[in-house]
Each structure stands twice: as C-alpha cells, then as structure tokens.
A and B are shown apart, each in its own frame.
Chain A
Amino acid sequence: MEIGLIILAIMLATLLGWLLKQSFNTQPWVAEAVEESAYQAPFNARPKLVALVTFLAVVSSFFALILSAYALRMELGDWIPMTEPRLLWANTVILILASAAFQWTRNQAVRGDAARIRSGLLVTGALTIAFLVGQVVAWRQLYAAGQTLTLNPSNAFFYLLTAVHGLHILGGMYVWLRATARAFGGREADAVKQSVELCTIYWHFLLLVWLVLFGFMLAT
C-alpha cells in the first residue's frame, strides 16, 4: 500500500497545506468590510479547471491503488514476470506525439489561430486513436502468443492496467470530440480555447500515468 499512501499523502499534503495557509493567523470572528483583493478565487482559477484537477486527483488515487495492489501481489509466490510486447514502445512514442500535438494545438489556441487549431485537433485525435489501436494489437499479439489474462497474475495486472488506462483515454476522446465539434462549428474562440486547454492537461496527465504504468511494468 506504500505507493497508494505516498501519492495520497502528496495530494492530501498539498490540499491541507493550502487550507492551513488560509486559516492560520486569521481571526474569523472579526467582521470586516469586503476588500475585493482579499477574496480572489483560490488558485485564481476557473471552475472547470478546478473540477478537472480534482478529477485528476481521483484518477491518481485510482491508479496508485491498483499499483499498490500490483506491488503487494507481486510478492506472493506464484508471480511470473510477463515480457511486455515490443509494440508498447511504439505505442508510447505515439502517445508522446499525441501529447505534444495537443500542446502545439493549445499554443495555437492561445494565439487564436482557428485553422491551425482544427488541424491540430485532427492530428491529436488520429494519434490517440492510433495509440488505442496499437494497444488492442498488443493484446492480440499477447493472446496469439498464449499470454492470456488468467495465465498469471502479472498478465492479469497487465490487461487490467492497460484496459483502465485505455478507458480513461476513451473518456478523453469524448471530450476531444466535443472540443473538435466546437472548433469546427465555429464557436467563439474563448470556448474553444478553454476546451483545448483542459484537454491538453488531461492528455499530459494520461501520458504521465502511462509512463508510470509502463515503467512500473518494465521494471518488474
């Protein structure tokens, strides 16, 4: 459970530290006139961003707990390490490219270049779909090689981790679809920019998760 605990501790410490900073040295019982500056939003952020960051915390907890279970299960006697298919390296590169493409699109969105936003979104979508297809192909290769889900717990964890990671990407694709629709539907630049920015964060996050998962599986 150490992994889960460490990640959780980091998240909680961030939140608690921030809360404590807000609450030390205040005397709440003192009534005061409202100074505009004093009541800026925390993080100076927007609600969708706050919700996204909170959601990423939930997802981090989810993956951290699976990895904790992985680490605990690994110590038991029947564990046989699985050799990850080579294809995963290619998939990883594709996912990095997708993330980079999203970053590029975001930069275009900040500049307000509508045409480039659209092509950026298309490229990102194509790369992400390529990643998902690549993952499915990797599964098929494994199955063809007799590395089935129930053969060994290390296999089970491999399929479980790639599956839930893929599902999170699929969920991201739904939001990507909406952002793309917005970009092509000629919606105002601000709305498009916001969706693209949030998607970019999510893509970077899922890339990070994938790198951690992949690294963890390679190391074991």
Chain B
Amino acid sequence: MPLAVVLILLVVGSLIFHVLSPWTFTELASNWSMVDFTIDITFWVTGAVFVAVNLFMAYCVVKFRYKKDARATYEPENKKLETWLTVLTSVGVAAMLTPGLFVWAKFVDVPEEAHVVEAVGQQWHWTYRYPGEDGKFGEVDAERISNDNPFGMDPDDPNGQDDVLVYHPEAHIPVDKPVKWLLRSKDVLHNFTVTEFRVKMDLVPGMQTFQWLTPTKTGRYEVLCEELCGIAHFAMRGAVIVDEQEDYDAWLASQPTYAELNARPGGNAAAGAANYAVCTACHGQQGEGLAPLNAPKIAGQDAWYLRNALNSYKAGIRGSSSDDTYGQQMAPMAATLVNDAAVENVIAYIGTFPDAPAPHTVDGDATNGKRSYRLCAYCHGDDGMGIQALNAPRLAGMTDWYIERQLTLFRDGVRGAHPTDFYGFQMSFMAQSLRDEQAVKDLVAYINTL
C-alpha cells in the first residue's frame, strides 16, 4: 500500500513540479519556435505514457497485493494485446519523430540570404570574423597562427584584406536577419551555444561546422562553450549582442579590418616618453614601481597586457568599483591617454625600460604555493612568463605585493565582476581555490621563486 501511494504521489508531484516550477525554458529569442513546438508534442506524448503506465502499476500493486488465499492467474501471453500495444507505441513514436525530422530538415538547410559570421574558438576564448564588404572570407590556416596573427590569416589573400577581425568575446548581429554562424576551432573541440537561440553546434579543429538562426529580439545574450575543452571550459564565455540594423552597421564600421590592423603604425617610444610623464610619479622613472604609492612594476610586462589594462581602465571595466581603491586612482590616469596612438606610444616607451626583477616583499611557504600554482600554470605557464594566446600575463619577476592584492580582489569578486571583463571573470573563478590570506601569500612566495 505505501508503495502504491508513493508511486501515485510521485506521478502527481512530478506533474505539479512541471507546471509550477520556475525552472523551465528560457525565453526564446530566435526563429526556432518549432523546436519548442516539437518539445511540446513530446511532452504530451511522453507525459501521457508516464502517467498511464505508472498509475496502472500503482493500481496493480494495490489490487493484486499478496493475499493468503489469492492465486495469480496463469497467462503466458496475449497476442492481441501485445499487437495493440506495439501499434499504439509505434504511432506515438511516429508522432514525435515526424515533426522532429521536419524541423531538422530546416536546420540543415541554411537560407540563401543568410549573412555569415565566423565564430572562432580557442582555449578559453571566443573571437569573431566578419567577411567584410566583399562578403568573402580570406583563407586561414592553423599553421600560420601566431601572436601577431591570431586568426591565422593568409596575408596574400585578397579576399581576406577587408575581413573584420574581432579579437574579443563579444559579437554583434542585426535583429531579424538570418545569420549563418561558421564555426572554427584553433585547438580542441568547443561548442557554440546561446541558450535563448535554442541551437548549438560543436567546433572541430581541422574542419568548419555551422549553425543558423534568425534572432528575433534585440539584447545581449551569453555565449557558452558546451563541449568540455579543458581546465577552464566553464569559464569560456562570450556574448552575442543583437542590434537594430543601424546600430549594427555603426558597430561593424568601427571595427578594424585585417588590412587596417596590418597598416597600424607601431608605437613611438620617443613620443611615448612625454605621455609617460604622468606615470612617472607613481610607477617610477624606469617603470620599476613604488610600493609606498601602491604602484606595481610595469617594466618587462608584455605590451599586449599593458594595452588591455590601459584600455580596460579607460573603458571603466577596471577601476570602477569602489572596493578597488587603487584601481580607482589609476582610471583617471589612464584617461590621460586620449587615443590609441597615445596608448601605443606609452607602451613602446615602457618597452625600453630595463627589466630588473622586483624585490621580494611577501612571506609565505613556497612549497604550499607550488601546489596551488599547478592550476595557474595552465595559463601563465610553468615559468610564470605568461602566454599571450591564453590572455595570461607575466607573473615571474613582477611586483609580488601587487599580485597578492589582485588575487585577493579577484577572489572577493571585486575584479572580474564587470559584465564585459571576460578575462577578469575567468581569473575570479580560478582565484576561488585560494582558501585564505595565507594561501595567497604562499602562492606569491612560490611565484617569487620562478
């Protein structure tokens, strides 16, 4: 008896949970309402079977429970009943399968008017490429990929010159226009998923895959990687911003093409010296950093990282939180670099400084720290020199008290909280494994030995 009651309660409870629970499909933001429709049909069919069979079983458990004088009937089989059940089941299965196949046929068949955007996955970062005015992508090749050519573009391919390269995890697409995402991976398997769009597809290195959809609502949608791609798989996020056509056009026009990127002049160190004047007070004549002024060493830091940091300060991604006092001090200083050229110049000037290791000021147990560093080494390298392809800056020989402070900020969710700070977001996850102040100190002590 209790078993039957429990079975009935489970059936009823599951139905109630289904109807009342707040956890259900996210609001659809693409044309794939047919996917939802197929799911609804399947829900009805399977739901009916779930309820019918389980209630029947509960009934049997009560009705035919053991009684001393009772005796079971003897009935090896019943062809008629079995045939009926086979036919009914087949009908139910066909009812679910047929719409599924129709929708799949649509998914496989990309509309001709769809415009194409390429999403490129790499460990643990999304980037994008737009075909530019000619509507054609230039050739790419894994063997040509380097820090200076992260997309592996063929410099001689005329089709590639006007390709718009977005080395940032945020893509834009116009609303109500079908878009075909070409998917390409540089290293391992990834999967490009926007939950609200309903479709997803793996990225496979060595080949190109695709998915298509028509976004129906403007807004910002999160891109997730849904194929386990290594240690930071869960932190590989991006965003798709669905714009009105004119906003999209404006955004696209503001992005550099491959040719423009190549034509950009490098920084001018001599010009940068003037820009650096404002930095000198805190970071020192030679970028060696001054602890009393809470300014870290910047000499020897990679140019790409300095560029990221300065631009983040300028854009308010860093130094906008009131919990990050020193970051708040830095933000207006960065703002004195009025344009990209100024940023490049000052970086070039910093590049001329001698790189002397920063003094060690943090005490900790380097043996403990070594264990923690195993996780860091995935991105920052065993030698702590940083890996540009992973957006991981150099740590070895840099200012230790500064690293300690930033780790604490990451761990406490102060840094990395800004919605477009994708790299800080990753780092704040990783810093969670540092249990307490001592763990941070131990780790920094180990980094000091590198």
What residues make up the interface of A, taking CB atoms closer than 8 Å to B? 27-29
CB distance from B433 to the nearest CB of A (A): 38
Contacts of B76 in A (CB 8 A): 27-29
Write out, one digit per residue, whether chain B residues 72-98 have a CB within 8 A of any chain A CB (1) or not (0): 000010000000000000000000000
Bound complex: CA A79 to CA B76 (Å): 59
Contacts of A28 in B (CB 8 A): 76
Contacts of A27 in B (CB 8 A): 76
| Interface bin, chain B | under 10
Bound complex: CA A28 to CA B77 (Å): 11
Q: Closest chain A residue to B206 by CB distance? A: A76
Bound complex: CA A191 to CA B218 (Å): 81
**3 interchain residue pairs of minimum CB distance:** A29-B76, A28-B76, A27-B76
Write out, one digit per residue, whether chain B residues 136-173 have a CB within 8 A of any chain A CB (1) or not (0): 00000000000000000000000000000000000000
* Interchain Cβ contacts within 8 Å, total number: 3
Q: Closest chain B residue to A29 by CB distance? A: B76
What does DSSP make chain A's interface, helix, strand, loop or mixed? loop
Q: Closest chain A residue to B74 by CB distance? A: A29
Bound complex: CA A27 to CA B76 (Å): 9
Bound complex: CA A29 to CA B78 (Å): 13
Q: Closest chain A residue to B77 by CB distance? A: A29
CB distance from A220 to the nearest CB of B (A): 21
Q: Closest chain B residue to A78 by CB distance? A: B206
CB distance from B16 to the nearest CB of A (A): 43
CB distance from B173 to the nearest CB of A (A): 31
Residues of B325-346 contacting chain A, CB below 8 A = none
CB distance from A82 to the nearest CB of B (A): 21
CB distance from A76 to the nearest CB of B (A): 8
A-B contacts, 3 of them at CB < 8 A, read: A27-B76, A28-B76, A29-B76
Bound complex: CA A180 to CA B331 (Å): 87
Residues of B268-303 contacting chain A, CB below 8 A = none
CB distance from A32 to the nearest CB of B (A): 15
Bound complex: CA A29 to CA B77 (Å): 10
Q: Closest chain B residue to A28 by CB distance? A: B76
Bound complex: CA A150 to CA B76 (Å): 62
Contacts of A29 in B (CB 8 A): 76
Bound complex: CA A28 to CA B76 (Å): 9
Bound complex: CA A76 to CA B76 (Å): 55
Bound complex: CA A71 to CA B76 (Å): 49
Q: Closest chain A residue to B76 by CB distance? A: A29
CB distance from A202 to the nearest CB of B (A): 40
Bound complex: CA A145 to CA B76 (Å): 71
Write out, one digit per residue, whether chain B residues 55-84 have a CB within 8 A of any chain A CB (1) or not (0): 000000000000000000000100000000
Bound complex: CA A29 to CA B76 (Å): 7
Q: Closest chain B residue to A27 by CB distance? A: B76
CB distance from B246 to the nearest CB of A (A): 42
CB distance from B319 to the nearest CB of A (A): 49
CB distance from A146 to the nearest CB of B (A): 22
Q: Closest chain A residue to B207 by CB distance? A: A76
Residues of B100-147 contacting chain A, CB below 8 A = none
CB distance from B357 to the nearest CB of A (A): 41
Q: Closest chain B residue to A30 by CB distance? A: B76
CB distance from A23 to the nearest CB of B (A): 13
CB distance from A106 to the nearest CB of B (A): 48
CB distance from A88 to the nearest CB of B (A): 31
CB distance from A12 to the nearest CB of B (A): 22
Bound complex: CA A92 to CA B76 (Å): 57
Bound complex: CA A152 to CA B76 (Å): 61
CB distance from B140 to the nearest CB of A (A): 15
